[in-house]
């Protein structure tokens, strides 16, 4: 949580929003940044989704809520976005009109390998009540004594919605995700830590025992400026056998008033390089580092520049045996999304993404990778042309084999809407011509298949066949069997989003 008490007064949990949509219609924050308000264009999208869904649901003789949770409902969302933002997403009106046509479109990608390298949940004993007060308010414990969301009145006030059971449901039952890497955020306050190394590994081991396959992977925390974390790498490597490492160069990010204490630079030879030495010693070579995604008042943070990308190139240059995965692709969040969009259209610049894309050529390295978690999802629902441009820039600068699929789930609920957005997105032809971007292609194009899973498979030693599909039999494991039963029983994606959004007068 990078949100202070004053900011929280202007926010609410996204699942309190009364209007259900298959994709979010305003930016959802995990707590790492103050989300911008819903734009006029997003409000238009939301209204169009409701209008179209009511029409098609009535035509098909089904409840609107059920329609919104169907494949046709997902198609309606992208039709609405194209109507407002221009043709960025591949979608046909027949998908909205015909459930079978929508299902057939979805089945074209059946078996597509999707490895989400950026996911979260909280541990079973997590008890920070700061995560619950807004839910209590929404149930009616507010000044007006009026429930914002009547459906919550009879629902227990419980942190379970951020815990393992919902993680399993959102990631593997309500989405097409095949494998996932579990992450956390470090803090000097143990009460606020989402998951320890032991707990991430416990989730990994539990899911893998349940599935009978290697479905889950787990991070171990690095924090070079806190000495005990260097020592903990020995046990994390030898006993817990973590799959990769995760750190925040900006320092301590948790708490109602985060201090951002104990920052570190990736290229600090005295402070940080001993961490890399241990990673290399134990053969756990993937170093995942949070970059960008700054809070709205980031200039007030004395060490905010530690979240920038100016320390990545030298570290990668000095440690060619390690792979540096830059989370969020280093995207610098902005106060004025409209201004950023206008500036891009005029100048072609996209803050910090350009710096990220330039690293390989500038430093002569090939061991830097971009995770698009949160960055793609946030742009896809606000300024889809920027989402497309970001992909174009990263692919052009890093290579299509150096971009990794991540969603920062489950803060924004099931990642299925992000999966659908990526399957359907195309770089507009005017941007292809102006910036020399290559097209992304259809849902299962070589470029999208590489980003969805093939690139991460190479990083995490998942064996693939000559067609880019995992050799491991995920499609017939226990998770797949349980998912089939879940769907046969009539269960649907719930379209709930767990993070923070700005309050609206209408809500």
Rounded distance between C-alpha atoms, residue 374 and residue 446, angstroms: 23
227-266 as b/e, with b when 16 or more CB fall inside 10 Å?
A: eebbebbeebbeebebbbbbbbbbbbbbbeebebebbbbb
* pLDDT above 70 for 202: yes
Rounded distance between C-alpha atoms, residue 408 and residue 499, angstroms: 11
Higher pLDDT, 155 or 225: 225
For tokens 């700005």, name the residue.
Answer: 502
- pLDDT the model gives residue 507: 41
Per-residue DSSP letter, 54: H
* pLDDT above 50 for 466: yes
- pLDDT the model gives residue 133: 41
Bridge-based pairing state of the strands 500-502 and 11-13: antiparallel
Q: Which residues does residue 464 pair with via DSSP β-bridges, in sequence order?
A: 470
Helix (H, G, I), strand (E, B) or coil at 444: coil
Q: What is the pLDDT of residues 177-200, one digit of tens each?
A: 999 999 998 888 777 788 999 999
- pLDDT the model gives residue 152: 46
- pLDDT the model gives residue 24: 87
Q: Is the pTM of this model over 0.75?
A: yes
Rounded distance between C-alpha atoms, residue 245 and residue 457, angstroms: 16
Q: What is the mean pLDDT of residues 200-209?
A: 97
Rounded distance between C-alpha atoms, residue 468 and residue 453, angstroms: 9
- Which pLDDT band holds residue 147 (cuts at 50, 70, 90)? low
* pLDDT above 90 for 231: yes
Higher pLDDT, 164 or 496: 164
Q: What is the pLDDT of residues 395-405, one digit of tens each?
A: 999 999 999 99
Region at 292 (left for phi over 0; alpha for psi -120 to 50; beta for the rest): left
- Is the CB of residue 341 less than 8 Å from the CB of residue 326? no
For tokens 């992909």, name the residue.
Answer: 391
Q: What is the CA radius of gyration of the chain?
A: 22
* pLDDT above 80 for 140: no
Q: What is the pLDDT of residues 292-350, one digit of tens each?
A: 988 667 787 788 999 999 999 999 999 999 999 999 999 987 667 788 889 999 999 99
Q: What is the pLDDT of residues 248-285, one digit of tens each?
A: 999 887 755 667 789 999 999 999 999 999 999 999 99
Helix (H, G, I), strand (E, B) or coil at 216: strand
Hey, where are the domains in the chain? 5-107+492-502, 115-127+156-475
Rounded distance between C-alpha atoms, residue 111 and residue 474, angstroms: 9
- pLDDT the model gives residue 135: 46
- pLDDT the model gives residue 258: 65
- pLDDT the model gives residue 132: 45
Task: Give the count of alpha carbons within 13 A of 119, CB side only.
Answer: 33
**Helical spans, DSSP H, in 212-311:** 227-238, 273-281
- pLDDT the model gives residue 407: 96
- Is the CB of residue 303 less than 8 Å from the CB of residue 251? yes
Please classify residue 125 by burial: count the beta carbons closer than 10 Å to its beta carbon, then call 0-12 exposed, 13-18 middle and 19+ buried.
Answer: exposed
Please classify residue 110 by burial: count the beta carbons closer than 10 Å to its beta carbon, then call 0-12 exposed, 13-18 middle and 19+ buried.
Answer: exposed
List C-alpha distances in Å: 282 to 170, 235, 265: 33, 11, 22
May I ask the CATH architecture of the domain 115-127+156-475?
Answer: Alpha-Beta Barrel (3.20)
Q: What is the mean pLDDT of residues 468-477?
A: 95
Token digits of residue 204: 């990994």
87-98 as b/e, with b when 16 or more CB fall inside 10 Å?
A: ebbbbeeebbbb
* pLDDT above 50 for 157: no
Per-residue DSSP letter, 376: H
- pLDDT the model gives residue 12: 80
Q: What is the pLDDT of residues 40-59, one digit of tens each?
A: 999 999 999 999 999 999 99
Average pLDDT over the chain, rounded to an integer? 89
Higher pLDDT, 174 or 504: 174
Q: Measuring CA to CA, which residue among 350, 355, 223, 228 is closest to residue 290?
A: 223
Q: What is the pLDDT of residues 50-106, one digit of tens each?
A: 999 999 999 999 999 999 999 999 999 999 999 999 999 999 999 999 999 999 999
* pLDDT above 70 for 128: no
Higher pLDDT, 235 or 151: 235
End-to-end CA distance of the chain: 24
- pLDDT the model gives residue 235: 98
3-state secondary structure 323-345: EEEEEHHHCCCCCCHHHHHHHHH
* pLDDT above 70 for 130: no
Which regions of 328-457 does DSSP assign to beta strands (E)? 368-371, 403-404
DSSP string of 77-138, one letter each residue: HHHHHHHHH-S-B---HHHHH-HHHHHHHHHTTTT---EEEEE----TT---GGGTHHHHHH
Rounded distance between C-alpha atoms, residue 180 and residue 117, angstroms: 6
């Amino acid at each position: 949580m990078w949100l202070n008490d004053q900011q929280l007064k202007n926010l609410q949990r996204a699942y309190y929003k009364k209007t259900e949509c298959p994709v979010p219609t305003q930016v959802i924050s995990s707590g790492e940044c103050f989300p911008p308000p819903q734009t006029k264009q997003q409000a238009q999208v939301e209204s169009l989704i409701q209008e179209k869904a009511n029409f098609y649901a009535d035509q098909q003789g089904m409840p609107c809520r059920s329609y919104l949770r169907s494949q046709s409902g997902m198609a309606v969302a992208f039709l609405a976005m194209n109507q407002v933002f221009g043709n960025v997403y591949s979608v046909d009106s027949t998908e909205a009109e015909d459930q079978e046509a929508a299902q057939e479109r979805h089945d074209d990608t059946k078996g597509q390998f999707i490895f989400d390298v950026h996911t979260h949940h909280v541990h079973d004993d997590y008890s920070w009540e700061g995560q619950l007060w807004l839910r209590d308010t929404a149930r009616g414990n507010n000044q007006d004594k009026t429930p914002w969301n009547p459906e919550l009145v009879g629902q227990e006030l419980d942190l379970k919605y951020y815990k393992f059971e919902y993680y399993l449901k959102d990631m593997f039952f309500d989405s097409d995700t095949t494998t996932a890497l579990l992450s956390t955020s470090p803090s000097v306050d143990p009460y606020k830590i989402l998951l320890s190394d032991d707990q991430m590994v416990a989730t990994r081991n539990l899911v893998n025992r349940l599935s009978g396959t290697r479905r889950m992977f787990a991070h171990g925390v690095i924090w070079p400026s806190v000495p005990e974390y260097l020592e903990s790498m020995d046990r994390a490597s030898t006993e817990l056998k973590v799959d990769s490492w995760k750190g925040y160069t900006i320092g301590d990010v948790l708490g109602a008033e985060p201090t951002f204490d104990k920052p570190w630079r990736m290229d600090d030879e005295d402070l940080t390089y001993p961490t890399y030495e241990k990673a290399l010693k134990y053969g756990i070579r993937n170093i995942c580092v949070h970059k960008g995604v700054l809070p709205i008042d980031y200039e007030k943070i004395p060490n905010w520049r530690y979240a920038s990308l100016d320390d990545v190139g030298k570290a990668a240059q000095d440690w060619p045996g390690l792979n540096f995965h830059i989370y969020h692709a280093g995207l610098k969040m902005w106060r004025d999304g409209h201004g950023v969009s206008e500036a891009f259209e005029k100048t072609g610049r996209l803050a910090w993404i350009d710096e990220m894309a330039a690293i390989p050529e500038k430093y002569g390295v090939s061991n830097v990778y971009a995770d698009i978690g949160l960055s793609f999802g946030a742009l896809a629902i606000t300024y889809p042309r920027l989402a497309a441009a970001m992909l174009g820039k990263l692919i052009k600068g890093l290579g299509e084999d150096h971009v990794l699929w991540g969603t920062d789930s489950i803060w924004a609920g099931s990642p299925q809407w992000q999966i659908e957005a990526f399957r359907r997105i195309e770089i507009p032809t005017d941007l292809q011509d102006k910036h020399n971007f290559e097209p992304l292609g259809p849902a299962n194009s070589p470029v999208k298949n590489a980003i969805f899973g093939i690139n991460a498979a190479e990083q995490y030693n998942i064996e693939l066949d000559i067609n880019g599909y995992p050799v491991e039999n995920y499609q017939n494991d226990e998770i797949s069997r349980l998912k089939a039963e879940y769907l046969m029983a009539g269960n649907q994606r719930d379209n709930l989003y767990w993070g923070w959004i700005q309050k609206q007068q209408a809500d």
